[in-house]
Amino acid sequence: MEETVAHRIKLEVWADVLFPWCWVVKRRLAAALDACSGRERFEVEWRSFEILPNISRVPDETIVEMMVHLDAADGNAALERFGEIRAQVLAELGLELNLEEARPVNSFDAHRLVHLAATQDAEDALLELLFRAYLTDNRNIANRAVLRELAAEAGLEAASVEALLTGPTHSDDVRADERRAAELEIAGVPTIVLDGRDKAAGPSTTGELAELLEGALGAARRP
């Protein structure tokens, strides 16, 4: 009798390196998957979403300065809130977020590089390096020298990285992810979509993500 192959559940995660909650949810999702009884059933795919698609590749204002100028926000209140987030995330996940000094830049090349990393089984490693470079070390992740360095550290093949950074490689993949996000009415990140249907948006807790995974497994078992 032929054995039935279990249905694989696709987890698509729309994210941008510029947004700290994407790193937080990446770590929380990893913890939820590790604790999940059906871990092998899930296939995680990272999707591109530019939260600031028109921003320059050259660093300018910090996040706080940008908030003040664009939203007339209270800079001191923003700094206080960032301090609260930093303490919470450090205590929970051991991640150090230096949001006060982060200077947003264009993330398009970083997204392209993540797509390349996915073809070389280095997607997770590169994402971690990109998040840390921008959110902890406050580096310019639009700078091609920085991207080359991070790609090498993640183990990407040098010739393919150079071809990407000097040409259009994976540009169409980034745009396809963004078109699909629009079709699914995804307006922000992080957003997780299970098998193209169920959707979870925002900074979900590890417990909420675990419930989401178990719910997906339960639904897959039903005829």
Task: Give the other-Cβ count within 10 Å of 95's Cβ.
Answer: 19
Is residue 88 assigned to a domain? no
Is residue 215 assigned to a domain? no
Q: What's the confidence (pLDDT) of residue 69?
A: 73
Q: What's the confidence (pLDDT) of residue 72?
A: 58
Q: What's the confidence (pLDDT) of residue 52?
A: 95
CATH number for the domain spanning 202: value is 3.40.30.10
Q: What's the confidence (pLDDT) of residue 219?
A: 76
Is residue 202 assigned to a domain? yes
Q: Respond yes or no on whether the N-terminal peptide bond of residue 190 is cis (omega within 30° of 0).
A: yes
pLDDT tens figures, 54-83: 999 999 999 888 877 766 567 778 788 889
Is residue 77 assigned to a domain? no
DSSP letters spanning 57-90: SS--S-HHHHHHHHH---HHHHHHHHHHHHHHHH
pLDDT tens figures, 141-156: 999 999 999 999 999 9
Query: Token digits for 67?
Result: 């908030």
Phi, psi angles (nearest 5°) of residue 170: 70, 10
Domain count for the chain, please give it.
Answer: 1
Q: What's the confidence (pLDDT) of residue 70?
A: 67
| Below-70 pLDDT ranges, the chain | 1-6, 70-73, 221-223
Is residue 95 assigned to a domain? no
* CA–CA distance, 150 with 129 (Å, rounded to integer): 6
Is residue 222 assigned to a domain? no
Helices and strands in the chain, H and E counts: 9, 4
Amino acid at 69: H
Q: Which of 157, 175, 102 is nearest to 133 (CA)?
A: 102
Domain region containing 31: 9-60+103-186+196-207
* CA–CA distance, 198 with 182 (Å, rounded to integer): 15
Query: Token digits for 36?
Result: 């999940």
Q: What's the confidence (pLDDT) of residue 4?
A: 43
**How does DSSP classify residue 135?**
I
Phi, psi angles (nearest 5°) of residue 216: -65, -40
